[in-house]
Amino acid sequence: MSHNILALDLGTTTGFAVGSIGHIVSGVWGLKPGRFDGGGMRFVKFRARLDEMHKAFPITAVFFEEVRNHKGVTAAHVYGGLMATLTEWCETNGIPYEGIPVGEIKKNWTGKGNANKHAMIAECERRGFKPADDNESDAIAIFDLAAKRLNPELSDDFA
């Protein structure tokens, strides 16, 4: 079965990679509320992006970076709100979802579970991608691991 995977690095700047093996679209979504927006606007924007992705690539599975430690209270609140929005959206649309721990993503992508942002971007570029930032490179790395989980016959460097 061919899967349309949506891989996400959740945050105020959310990295995404969507598509199927051999056809990946990636980028970043700026979810920062505007000057006159209410506090919940980032979640409204996020849901709109999810709907756009699902319309363009009927999504069959969602994978996201599962973060346990945040740099501050605001980051933790934003992540929690985005994760709640995402999981509710997946449940509503009948799409399975899974969080993948940060260290597992990094180890799969670079061979080191504690790889820094520069190493993640460098590996992404080595594989032929041109990520705008670390959020996009992380999403592509999540996509790679998700595709391997859904298709165990894949080689290590398909993405």
Q: Is residue 156 part of a domain?
A: no
Q: Which long-range contacts (CB under 8 A, 24 or more apart) does 89-92 make?
A: 89/47, 89/50, 90/62
- Which among 43, 20, 16, 19 is positioned nearest to 32, based on CA atoms? 43
Q: Is residue 159 part of a domain?
A: no
Q: Is residue 157 part of a domain?
A: no
- Can you give the residue range of the structural domain that contains 60? 5-150
Distance CA(86)–CA(7), nearest Å, equals 11
Question: Which CATH number characterizes residue 14's domain?
Answer: 3.30.420.10
Distance CA(106)–CA(31), nearest Å, equals 24
- Our count of domains for the chain comes to 1
| Cβ atoms of 22 and 75 closer than 8 Å | no
Q: Is residue 111 part of a domain?
A: yes
| Cβ atoms of 147 and 109 closer than 8 Å | no
> How is residue 50 written in tokens?
């999810």
pLDDT tens digits along 27-71: 999 999 888 988 899 999 999 999 999 999 999 999 999 987 767
Strands 5-9 and 61-66: parallel
**Predicted local distance difference test score (pLDDT) of residue 96:** 97
- Name the pLDDT band for 79 (thresholds 50, 70, 90): very high
For CA atoms 73, 75, 81, 84, give the dihedral sign. Answer: negative
pLDDT tens digits along 147-158: 998 887 766 655
Q: Is residue 146 part of a domain?
A: yes
